[in-house]
Structure 1
């Protein structure tokens, strides 16, 4: 039930904006922090990305964010916390990641 409620909130936001509702809905979903963590290859699964965010392993613009639904803006910088960089789940996922997205920049060095 909670899943339907949260999706309805996203749909309501999308339908209140001007433009094609479906495209806006997709943009809102893609801007979520947990989705960006997954897309960058920091986690191999969306649920794993959500857990990394919830467990405070991810920073946005220098500050720790533990809200998976946090909405990113263009120019936001996403980092893995220094003490979390050695986690096996993160290092394995980054090593095996080969996909890239033109709207995301990822540096495995930082």
Structure 2
């Protein structure tokens, strides 16, 4: 599972990348800490920080072009932290239709 966030910012939306990057770093720190305590995930997590989002997502594009076999054989899902915190108190998720049952199950437990 790839968890990613863009880190570049231009113009008035500069805070958006900061929020995603902050969440990415905190999630990586949290999963490292619980792994040291013996917790084992069922899937590998790969935390990535993209540059070049304002220029056609160049960072993500270059990474994907460099690792096509990894993408097609190992990656089960991509979780984007871009614009992860916006608006009011409603939860809104956008996903592949295949992930909708998983999201609904997870939300029913909250």
Q: TM-score range by the shorter chain?
A: under 0.3
Q: Higher Cα Rg: structure 1 or 2?
A: 2
Name the structure where strand makes up a greater proportion of residues: 2
Of structures 1 and 2, the one scoring higher in RCO (CA 8 A, sep 6+) is 2
TM-score, reference length from structure 2: 0.25
